[in-house]
A and B are shown apart, each in its own frame.
Chain A
Amino acid sequence: MTPQRLQHETAILEKYFPKKYKFENLYLPNELLDVGVKTQSGKVYRLNIRLKPDYPNSLPEVYVVYPLPLRRHDGSAIDGASHELHTLSNDGDKIQICHFKPNNWNPIQSLYKIVLKARIWLEAYEGHLRTGKPVDDYLNS
């Protein structure tokens, strides 16, 4: 992303998630935002939001990198793409989760909104752990 865009994103993140994020590999093809979030239950997760070189024109990818493995209600590990759980992949080091629909993404959105989407996914995931209902029951597709 450009330095101007970084300044814009940092200003928003500093307002809403002060001291809970850091950018890595800035201005390189593997640029990412590392952010720690706490759910309502008090559990802590770490997310990596991977930016493509043309960000914000393209939709970033969101990965849960801690804790791993993420488990289903039945105790089995989430092992890859799942429509029921709104996950896209699992390479062992991280689990990619769904967030913005591509059609709803545009450069006016921000990394802050992506973190909020991921926070909603995490609450839905914890709802799945609590009740056994699929994440899809909680998230509008």
Chain B
Amino acid sequence: MENENKATNQEITNSLEQMNKGLSNNSNQLVFDPTTGEFVVAKPNQQVSPDATTINSIAQDGFAK
């Protein structure tokens, strides 16, 4: 069954770009859902898997270059 909360690449990169520019309002969280192996967009107050990992904080940690 298709996961209706599955994020598209465009949604993810838009979110990453906003974070990178410091414009993220954190109203929607990107999370990794291990039950599907996919990134999903979690709206405020939305129930997510208790095993889900928030991607925002990992991305905001920064990347070496």
Contact = CB atoms under 8 A, between A and B. Distances in A.
Contacts, number: 96
Contact of B61 (A38, A136, A140): A140
Interface of A: 15-17, 20, 38-41, 83, 86, 98-102, 104, 113, 116-117, 119-121, 123-124, 126-127, 130-131, 133, 136-141
Nearest to B30: A120
A100 B63 CA distance: 5
B59 A101 contact: no
Interface of B: 6-10, 12-13, 16-17, 19-20, 32, 34, 37-39, 51, 53, 55, 58-65
Given A15-B51, A40-B6, A117-B58, A136 B32 contact: no
